[in-house]
Structure 1
Amino acid sequence: FQFTIRLQEAMEQQGVDAVFLTDPTVYDRNYVEQGGSTVDGTYVYSVIQRFEDTSIPEMVLYRQWLERVAPGSIPNYYGLFAWSAARLFVQKATELGGDLTRPALVQALKGVKDWDSNGIHAPMAIGAKTTPGCVKMFQLKGGSWSQTSPGNFMCGSLVDSGVGG
């Protein structure tokens, strides 16, 4: 997020007045604190739920454990997906029981569809190795993030970036 702040500061210095839309890596308290008024108004497209959403028990659990193991830590996009990946590993390892091997785990993961780690992120087809087809929009206003898109997630066809094909 530090480079995003620098870009936004340069845009502000040049008098650029534009809607700033970026990826969810800036959905971070440090971005808000370090960017100050320069970053106010930023839009983020996200495949995760808001960290502040206490209506999602899994988000509450993630935040509780983060505070328990690393007091004062700031939840972020990468940490949430580490939590989700650990949950998926434990689930599949438990299902495999005494047959847990790397090939068996990889095979089990190929069948995972609609993984949302108990609702903390958009459903993902892990086995298909595709990006989620659902997002939501957040906007930073007055130092706090709020959802600006309707409903839970907006879902549709995946966008082909043209990379790797």
Structure 2
Amino acid sequence: MTDTTVKVGGVLTKTSASGYSTKDAEIGAKARFERANAEGGVNGRKIDFIGAEDDGQDAAKGDAAAKKLVQKDQVFALVPVHAPNFGGAAFLEQQGVPWFGWATGPQWCGTKTGFGYNGCLAPKQGAGSQTWWGRQMAELLGGAEGKTVYVQTSDSSGSKYGGTTISQSFTAAGFKLVGVNSGLPAAAPPPDWLPYVNKIMTSNGGKAPDVVVSVIAGTKFNVGLYSALKRAGYKGALTDATSYDAAILKDQASAQALEGVIAAPMFEPFESTAPEIARFKQDVEKVAPGAVPTQHMAIGYWAADIFLDMLGKAGKDLTREKFLAVGNGDYLYENAGFGRIQYPKDHTEPNGCGALVKLEKGAFQVAKSMKCFDNVPLK
């Protein structure tokens, strides 16, 4: 940090053995920082964004990347951090270095330096847990009274944990939970979906449930599950957190399988008419002409946006200690793009905000715009 610049860099999973990549988060963060610089910077300082390191979805590489950014590149903060297996959390906490991104894992939660753009998504028992997904679905379906829900996860620890929090989100909204199945192998889709489909189709006292929630990472899994359910005659609502992806529409079989599915992004959808989304698209177009908006792009953008707001509130007389004191001292920021964030509360619980998008006739439509709901203690 100098009198005229603040240096930041990120850590992403740009490459991985599975093909999973969050590289677009770099475009999103750069887009937001470029606009801030074009507007004159923050308290007289421009953002010197040096780009993002690749952790290859390896915790040790993430730790090394964080150390390089802090010790060699001497960044003020890490923005964006978007890596499911990020291994640099303990080092950053020990050094008092702020980091911003998507707090999908427990390494973000309970820190004083890690700021998830939508809070901590892995709350411990007794801490606040989200109800927004269930409540948004209830509003979309005309109420939850008398309606049933079935939750399908894989046998991975993250998927099973999500099954717990998301089941509670739907029961808090008034749905009756008729089943949670975590027996699906996480390594690859099963050769035969029939055993899973039969359980679902008879879970509601021998009948099908009104809603099936998939807490499974991977389009191939969801395409297989939804196709099998439709073949079995399922007519209820299908919902998941991952099917809001423009790449899906390029494959006809995938688009057909996901037709009618309701995805649940934790940001305002790109199809929204909200001015914040129009500005997001304009900012991205300036740094990456022709780029199609993605979830990872939005996460990088909103993580950078929160960092900039916190930086502004920290004032011109800037130190890391003062910055963290602002972030952890009754900090509140609201934006229609992602909802709201409150710290220190959201170091231990999610921000409670989300939207719904439905795939209809091969195109995504906003089903429910971004809305925030109160959390309930995780049982």
Matched with 1:9 is: 223
Q: Are the equivalent residues in 1 in contact too, given 2:271–2:365 (CA < 8 A)?
A: no
CA contact (8 A) 1:109 1:126 kept: yes
* C-alpha distance in structure 2 between counterparts of 1:9 and 1:81, whole Å: 24
- Partners of 1:90 and 1:155 in 2: CA distance: 22
8 Å contact 1:28–1:74 — kept in the other structure? no
Q: Which residue of 2 aligns with 1:31?
A: 248
Q: Whole-Å Cα distance in 1 between the matches of residues 270 and 286 of structure 2?
A: 16
Change (3 A) 1:105 1:137: same
Moved over 6 A (4+): none
Moved more, 84-93 or 13-22: 13-22
Alpha-carbon distance, 1:126 to partner: 3.9
Q: In structure 2, do the counterparts of structure 1 residues 132 and 31 end up closer, same or farther at CA, with 3 Å as the change threshold?
A: farther
Structure 2 stretches lacking a partner, 5+ long: 1-19, 21-216
2:289 to 51, 71, 87: 71
SS at match of 2:315: helix
- Give runs of aligned pairs for residues 10-159 of structure 1, distance below 5 A: 10-11=224-225, 12-13=227-228, 15-16=231-232, 17=234, 19-23=237-241, 25-34=242-251, 35-54=254-273, 56-110=274-328, 111-113=330-332, 115-117=333-335, 119-129=336-346, 130-149=349-368, 152-159=369-376
Greater strand share, 1 or 2? Answer: 2
**Percentage identity across aligned positions?**
19
Cα RMSD over matched residues?
2.7
With normalisation by structure 1, the TM-score equals: 0.76
Question: Per the alignment, do residues 155 and 64 of structure 1 end up closer, same or farther by CA in structure 2, a change over 3 Å counting?
Answer: closer
> Secondary structure of the residue that 1:20 maps to in structure 2?
strand
Deviations 1:71-119 (A, max 9, x none): 2222122322321222222233233334222222122112322x333x2
Judged with a 3 Å threshold, the aligned counterparts in structure 2 of structure 1 residues 42 and 81 are, in CA distance, closer, same or farther, namely same
What TM-score, normalized by structure 2, do the two folds share?
0.37
| Residue ranges of structure 1 left out of the alignment (5+ in a row) | none
